[in-house]
Copies of this chain bind each other. A is one copy, B any other.
């Protein structure tokens, strides 16, 4: 295209008439329960605290939605430190779900989210089906929340998350139970530590999940060669960051055509280009995790980069590119 032509088109399509909004459809209650977001960016659980800290850096209402740090039934102090190890283009974390427990979450954290005008999602983790039921019951009806994200994939807890997340029938059972109790939007977050993620994704869909999120972290470790022992106090942890993005994008791409529910794609997003990559693969929304730890203003920067891409490619409605790489 000649430069003048591009310029003249750009005259028409300007930042102000770009439409970045996306809709995460709901399986259950049709339209009225859809999650409508002003843009596809959703903070990834555990990498953004509960909003307060990032709010020092920018207005987090600019984001599509906010996911809170994972909560459990009881308070947890987490794993021993070191809890984090840096690897090539990635990090391994074994935080171990340090959190104040669901009751404190409801009493102390949820009220604070009232200051925000964006949808809030609570990320929940459990060690048994009963845990998930308790969490769903306690969160049901909480107006502050747009929905919950069931974390079936945390690789840091012995005998816990990982086991549910790799067995399709367990994913189905837990999702189904939670679905019976919780009426808001339900996202099931899946582990990539699995032979075929489409099996667990389909299990979640069949059990009534409104959406799936992929991926949580890849089980990984690092050894301190001078100490000759694992670097993390917990031995194993979860790998995230740019290193894992090619695996995450592959999983989203593989799942897109098999699923009828929307996908929240995440893993290693650093820039607007990466968000576009996930959407082209089939993600309706895209999570930003590790990047916030490095660049606290990543959210608004990425939104700007998405807009640049839309202008360059003359895309008016961002949602039109979902799955376009197939």
What is A's interface to B at a CB cutoff of 8 Å?
85, 87-90, 92, 166, 193-196, 218-223, 225-226, 228-230, 235-236, 239, 241-247, 249-250, 253, 268, 273, 276-277, 280-281, 309, 313, 321, 324-325
| Residues of the B chain whose Cβ atoms lie less than 8 Å from the Cβ of A236 | 250
Min distance, Cβ A190 to any Cβ of chain B, angstroms: 12
Known: A193-B195, A223-B249, A236-B250. Is A243-B88 also a contact (CB below 8 A)? yes
CB nearest to A225 among chain B residues: B276
| Residues of the B chain whose Cβ atoms lie less than 8 Å from the Cβ of A230 | 253, 325
B220 near A92: Cβ-Cβ < 8 Å: no
B90 near A246: Cβ-Cβ < 8 Å: yes
| Residues of the B chain whose Cβ atoms lie less than 8 Å from the Cβ of A268 | 88
Min distance, Cβ A205 to any Cβ of chain B, angstroms: 20
B250 near A246: Cβ-Cβ < 8 Å: no
B243 near A90: Cβ-Cβ < 8 Å: yes
CB nearest to A155 among chain B residues: B250
User: Which of A244, A276, A280 counts the most B-chain CB atoms under 10 A from its CB?
Assistant: A244
Q: Which of B219, B243, B247 contacts A250 (CB 8 A)?
A: B219
| Residues of the B chain whose Cβ atoms lie less than 8 Å from the Cβ of A226 | 313
B88 near A253: Cβ-Cβ < 8 Å: no
Min distance, Cβ A126 to any Cβ of chain B, angstroms: 20
| Residues of the B chain whose Cβ atoms lie less than 8 Å from the Cβ of A92 | 246
- Complex Cα distance, B278 from A222, in Å, reads 10
| Residues of the B chain whose Cβ atoms lie less than 8 Å from the Cβ of A88 | 88-90, 241-243, 245, 268
Q: Which of B235, B245, B247, B309 contacts A225 (CB 8 A)?
A: B309
Known: A228-B325, A230-B325. Is A220-B247 also a contact (CB below 8 A)? yes
- Complex Cα distance, B249 from A246, in Å, reads 19
A253 near B221: Cβ-Cβ < 8 Å: yes
Q: Which of B166, B225, B247 contacts A218 (CB 8 A)?
A: B247
- Complex Cα distance, B2 from A191, in Å, reads 48
- Complex Cα distance, B230 from A11, in Å, reads 31
CB nearest to A280 among chain B residues: B223
Min distance, Cβ A316 to any Cβ of chain B, angstroms: 15
CB nearest to A273 among chain B residues: B225
